[in-house]
A and B are shown apart, each in its own frame.
Chain A
Amino acid sequence: MNTMPEKQMLSAAALKEIQDIRKNYPTARAALLPALYVAQREFGWLSPEAYEAVSDHLGVPKAIARGVGTFYAMYKHKPLGRHVVQLCTNVSCMILGAERLVDLLKNKYGLEPGGTTADNRFSLVIMECIGACGTAPAMLVNDDFHENLTDKNIIEILERYT
């Protein structure tokens, strides 16, 4: 209960970034979501240590930080592969073949929705609408949009992520 084993820590740069973000808001709590993004970038995912680090730094109780973090789909609660494929399967994408693309990724890379390839190269996250319905089907790989996907070009695109 009072134990303080050595924990994974946020880097000095990350702490500085969180401090700067904090200045945008009248309360520390409001900086929680952006701070969690910083921690996720640092740790790769929101591990318990990541929550504790953010909690310590912002003075937001860790159970609250975790409750808030797990509410949002874009915070990840297990380690992910090097590249995160976020493929939309909502209606506009679905009726233009997104599900076929999901199958394709399974066959080509052994990549299951919510899973990570054995070589840790890709993780697949099934997304709700990503606002690319006019160019459906679409996906985000890391922070990059890729639209008008076809069976062919999706593989070409993914092959660029090594």
Chain B
Amino acid sequence: MENVLLKNIENPNSADIKEYMAVGGYVSLAKAFEKSPKEIIDEVKKAGLRGRGGAGFPVAMKWTFASGDPKTPKYLLCNADEGEPGTFKDRPILEKNPHVLIEGMAISGYALGAEYGFIYLRGEYPAAKHILDKAIAQAYEKGFLGENIAGNGVRFHLAVHQGAGAYICGEETALIESLEGDKGQPRIKPPFPVNVGVFSKPTVVNNVETLSNLPYLISIGGEAYAKIGSPDCPGPKIYCVSGHVERPGVYELPMGTNLRDIIYTHCGGIKGGRKLKAVIPGGISTPVLPPDKIDCAMDFVNMPKHGSMLGSGAVIVMDESVCLVKVCYRALKFFEHESCGKCTPCREGTGWLRSILGRIEQGTGAEGDIDLLLSVAANMIGKTFCPLGDGAASVVQNFIKHFRPEFEEHIRAQACVVQGQK
């Protein structure tokens, strides 16, 4: 299928509203206004659209909760805090196709009855900030945002709020805290953001890619949309592939495309014809898979059956030159760096795991360290405040589960046993 989300991005001026409109942009917004908000939510429900941020939560359900809450004003927040290592699927939308997001947010805002929207943009995307600011100004100018959108009496204001370097802000309640000017630490749920969100108002938080699906979804209708890709979670999906493949990059494919096909067909296989060693299929916090387990449809429903998760659809491909102890160590270093510090197991556990992995990787691991890793991980899993700590612990568990001999070798040899990488 042709690109929907990444439509026209080869055009060097694709971020300009003129170019966007030239290829049919903002037509869906007008179409949306022909429907009632409820009808739009019904379309989204029919389409079976699921959130693309990682959890795959049904979008219509979230919207129904929020639109049903009597408190006003309501807020629509776009989660553009793309921070999951390996993920770079939202950045091309933000930098090259910002209007598809803005149009999607205007449609969603109308459907929800949200009058205010914020794009919570990660601080690491300074270029996107300027592009979005400009695109939003253009959309205001054309009347697609503002007090009275396209003369339809609908109000929707949109602004970019820049994050400042905190992975945890991808968690929606942490994002809300951060938007309110606080540390990005997750909130107690319930109450859920759909009822008590930003500034204590009903709030929907959706990912960039999710919201960018709306114009297309509205243009073809929910039923047609539901026929794309996996029946359980349909629609186009941006997979972003990095690491040792011939053609790394972003691939907009039907949801549920086979992981092996992504690597070997779309990305041209392993770089230099080397041997595949491991794949992280959905960003660093999703369980790593060994080469014999990559025949799986990449969607939210299917991946757990194969022992992993779709996550953000960020495929990291590692060939035989990679030391997986080192990857695991680097992953834990990341989690340690990003732990918000609110809960004990994550705050203390991520650092402890990192230090044990560090000594194994550096050749000073001791017998029993692998069991210690598993024990510490077990003391974290299911006990942390939010999924970050679970993710950190499960990374350790899954690397050991699939690649235990490599860890054992490191301890036995008191050195890295993988040849070829530096």
Contacts and interface: CB of A to CB of B under 8 A. Distances in A.
The answer to A–B direct touch (Cβ < 8 A) is: yes
A60 interface: yes
Contacts of B167: 128
B48 interface: no
Contacts of B421: 95
Given A24-B159, A68-B181, A96-B243, A134 B318 contact: no
Contact of A140 (B124, B161, B318): B124
A72 B163 contact: yes
Contact of B127 (A29, A129, A145): A145
A92 B180 contact: no
B395 to A, nearest CB: 10
Contacts of A89: 330
A23 B338 CA distance: 31
Given A33-B162, A131-B91, A133-B240, A92 B179 contact: no
Nearest to A103: B422
A28 to B, nearest CB: 8
A5 interface: no
Contacts of B178: 33
Given A33-B178, A74-B124, A90 B85 contact: yes
Main secondary structure on A side of the interface with B: mixed
Interface stretch (B137-145, B227-235, B244-252, B361-369): B244-252
Interface in B160-176: 161-167
A131 B124 contact: yes
Contacts of A145: 127
B83 interface: yes
A90 B165 contact: no
Interface string A58-70: 0010000001100
Contacts of A109: none
Contacts of A72: 123, 163-166, 184
A92 B181 contact: no
Nearest to B182: A68
B161 A74 contact: no
B331 interface: yes
A27 B181 contact: yes
A42 B340 CA distance: 28
Interface centre among B242, B334, B337 (most CB of A within 10 A): B242
B42 to A, nearest CB: 31
B264 to A, nearest CB: 17
Interface centre among B122, B162, B180 (most CB of A within 10 A): B180
A30 B84 contact: no
B181 A31 contact: yes
A131 B243 contact: no
A127 interface: yes
Contacts of B331: 91
Nearest to B201: A26
Nearest to A23: B159
B334 A95 contact: no
Contacts of B284: 90-91, 129
A51 B292 CA distance: 54
A26 B116 CA distance: 11
Interface string B90-131: 110000000000000000000000000000001111110000
B87 interface: yes
B181 A90 contact: no
B241 interface: yes
B308 to A, nearest CB: 16
B248 A133 contact: yes
Contacts of B242: 92, 133-134, 136
B125 A33 contact: no
A58 to B, nearest CB: 8
A36 B86 contact: no
Contacts of A32: 181
B86 A133 contact: yes
Contacts of B166: 71-73
B234 to A, nearest CB: 25
B314 interface: yes
Nearest to B129: A143
A43 interface: no
Interface centre among B84, B85, B179, B244 (most CB of A within 10 A): B85
A92 B161 contact: no
Q: Which 7 A-B pairs have the closest CB atoms?
A: A73-B165, A72-B164, A133-B242, A74-B165, A32-B181, A29-B181, A129-B85
Interface of A: 24, 26-34, 36-37, 60, 67-68, 71-75, 86, 89-92, 94-96, 99-100, 127-136, 140, 143-145
Given A94-B330, A95-B327, A99-B422, 12 more contacts: A28-B181, A31-B181, A37-B162, A60-B181, A72-B163, A72-B164, A73-B337, A74-B123, A89-B330, A129-B86, A135-B248, A145-B127
19 contacts: A33-B162, A33-B163, A34-B161, A68-B181, A68-B182, A90-B86, A92-B86, A92-B242, A128-B337, A131-B91, A132-B88, A132-B91, A133-B88, A133-B314, A133-B316, A134-B88, A136-B243, A136-B248, A143-B126
